[in-house]
Amino acid sequence: MFRTRSRLLVVGAASLTLAGACTTPPPPGAPPPDLTEFHNQQVKFEPCGPFATTPVNEKLFANERLDCARVQVPVDYDNPGGARGEVALLRIPASGEKIGSLLVNPGGPGGSGMNFVATMASKPLWTEGALGQRFDIIGFDPRGVGASWPQLDCFSDADDEARAAGIDNPMDLDSATSEKHAREIMQRCAESAGGEDALTSVSTRETARDMDVLRAAVGDERLTYLGFSYGTELGGVYAETFPENVRALVLDGAVAPGTTRDELHTAQAAASQKGFDRLAEECAQAADCPLGTDPARATERFQALTRPLIDRPAPTTDGRGLGYNDAVLAVLAGMRAEALVPRLVDGLTELAAGRGDTLLALRDQLAGRQPDGTYDGTGDSYLATRCMDLPRRTPAEQTEANRRIREAAPFTDDGRPVQQTHHLCAAWPKPPSRTRPWLADDVAGLPPTLTVSTTGDVATPYQAGVDLAEALGGSLLTVDGAQHGVSLIGENACTNDLVLGYLVDLKTPPEGARCAL
């Protein structure tokens, strides 16, 4: 239902004449493009129901407290008079004396800010508390995501269902089975977006420029921003591009600016293994721990539980079954938040008894599977963005990257030889939009920023936050615990107070500040 609606919107947009959309910096001394028309557009907020693109959002967006709008942006910033895209916004209006807007990105690439903010609207802090009183809180769907345009439909729901089972390592999202497969995926992406030029406009640098249009269009002189995970990279790119337009940046669960993609993926795998080892130590305190009572043998025990799933998935109530990669994805999902760990342990206990329902539900949560069996499109947006952000790999490089991931996280090793794979981006019609680290060593004119990094984060390692804070010349808040993203989304008063003090009063935490979950 929802995929069809999105595809109809794309067909209408496909008739536009698109100019080349891979933005390059203007020549030295050249005047910047005139974006006055976009900055001065009138934003008309309305009920959010028509903006829903998934069954989950259809329910969330029925909240009468929320309102939504669309903001026009150039598809190609080098040609602002050409084709136009649209960025969809969802807002929780300020309930008190307003400072301005807080723009939020939950991560990805491919995360829906509209969905995230609509979900957080159930939390008093985001409505009646200091955050909700002082800011219009705005979640946006970046180009290529959700209700915004260009839209993407690179993988069918059947593709998404089978994709995790077909890749060599469930921690790898970039593999194709062949050159032909990579070309077919690119062609489907381009067709859904409205052409190759629209497809290649989906990049982090373009989204950062969209954010500056959003800032101006909603009436803010300077940007106040909260970004999680990939959202820290997006915030860093904005800071480098528009330092004079920054009021405050909170960057939580950081991506390190100087780290290559291969280094990042290997570091994430190593952090996941540390998280698994920590899980095993905590679980071993109970005599009935499904990973056993000897943490040193937990990886071996997990492999004994999961490797049989390669040939014989565990039965589930819905008939889909739990495969090997599904189980690994479930563990990765369950380790992202301490609140999910008991559910993860229950799922492993259930698997030991021969059933896979609980782990499959955790897997679906990470994969973006909706209650009706459709997928939310996160994988499509991730692919398109990263294909324009990052260098392409040869088959040998892609295969070696998978080998290193498995070596860094042995609990994900299925016992079979590493397969030769191809890079999904290999057939992309334009080269990546950047060839260097995404943040310069020194960003002149940038006001104080706040990076939040959690010591036990299994998705974005702690050191990455240290590196990002240093690159921005900003403050670092260390949070002791095991969670991916903590700022204003839980009940940790220490973290919330320090982050709110910065957002509201621009007061950064003292050097060496720490909180604990």
* Tokens read off for 326: 């599904």
Contact (Cβ atoms closer than 8 angstroms) between residue 236 and residue 439: yes
Q: How confident is the model at residue 170 (pLDDT cuts 50, 70, 90)?
A: low
Interacting residues of 228 by C-beta distance below 8 A, sequence separation 6+: 105, 106, 107, 252, 253, 485, 487
Coil, helix or strand at residue 362: helix
pLDDT at residue 39 greater than cutoff 80? yes
Measure the CA angle with vertex 33, ends 22 and 438; round to 5°: 45
64 exposure class (CB count in 10 Å sphere: 0-12, 13-18, 19+):
exposed
Q: CA 377, CA 4: separation in Å to the nearest integer?
A: 13
Residue 434: predicted pLDDT: 79
Contact (Cβ atoms closer than 8 angstroms) between residue 102 and residue 89: no
For residue 514, the 8-state DSSP code is E
Higher pLDDT, 410 or 159: 410
Q: CA 467, CA 355: separation in Å to the nearest integer?
A: 43
Q: What is the mean pLDDT of residues 50-78?
A: 96
Phi, psi of 355 (to 5 degrees): -125, 155
Q: Does 2.40.160.20 match the CATH number of domain 46-149+204-259+442-516? A: no
pLDDT at residue 437 greater than cutoff 80? no
pLDDT at residue 348 greater than cutoff 50? yes
* Tokens read off for 210: 């969209």
Which residue has 């390059």 as its token pair?
24
pLDDT at residue 166 greater than cutoff 90? no
Contact (Cβ atoms closer than 8 angstroms) between residue 90 and residue 138: yes
Q: How confident is the model at residue 22 (pLDDT cuts 50, 70, 90)?
A: very low
Higher pLDDT, 403 or 2: 403
Higher pLDDT, 328 or 160: 328
Report cis status (omega within 30 of 0) of the bond before 109: yes
Residue 2: predicted pLDDT: 44
pTM of the model: 0.88
* Tokens read off for 277: 């080892």
Residues forming beta bridges with residue 70, ordered by sequence position? 88
pLDDT at residue 441 greater than cutoff 80? no
Which residue has 């829903």 as its token pair?
52
Q: What is the mean pLDDT of residues 345-374?
A: 93
Q: For residue 193, count other CB atoms closer than 10 A to its CB.
A: 31
> Which amino acid makes up residue 126?
W
pLDDT at residue 29 greater than cutoff 80? no
Interacting residues of 36 by C-beta distance below 8 A, sequence separation 6+: none
As a three-state string, the secondary structure of 159-192 is HHHHHHHHCCCCCCCCEECCHHHHHHHHHHHHHH
Contact (Cβ atoms closer than 8 angstroms) between residue 87 and residue 142: yes
Q: What is the mean pLDDT of residues 357-380?
A: 90
What's the whole-number average pLDDT of the chain? 89
396 exposure class (CB count in 10 Å sphere: 0-12, 13-18, 19+):
exposed
Delimit the CATH 3.40.50.1820 region(s) of the chain: 46-149+204-259+442-516
* Tokens read off for 212: 């500056």
Phi, psi of 475 (to 5 degrees): -90, 155
Contact (Cβ atoms closer than 8 angstroms) between residue 241 and residue 249: no
pLDDT at residue 173 greater than cutoff 90? no
Q: What is the pLDDT of residues 241-265, one digit of tens each?
A: 999 999 999 999 999 888 888 888 8
Helix axis angle for 324-334 and 157-166, nearest 10°, is 90
Distance of CA 157 to the CA centre of its chain: 19
Q: CA 12, CA 224: separation in Å to the nearest integer?
A: 34
> Pick from 508, 505, 504, 507: which is nearest to 137 by CA?
504
β-strand 84-92 against 135-141: which pairing, if any?
antiparallel
Q: What is the mean pLDDT of residues 123-147?
A: 96
For residue 156, the 8-state DSSP code is -
Which residue has 């293994």 as its token pair?
273
Q: CA 370, CA 365: separation in Å to the nearest integer?
A: 8
pLDDT at residue 107 greater than cutoff 50? yes
β-strand 223-228 against 100-105: which pairing, if any?
parallel
Interacting residues of 122 by C-beta distance below 8 A, sequence separation 6+: none
pLDDT at residue 9 greater than cutoff 70? no
Residues with active-site annotation: 229, 457, 484
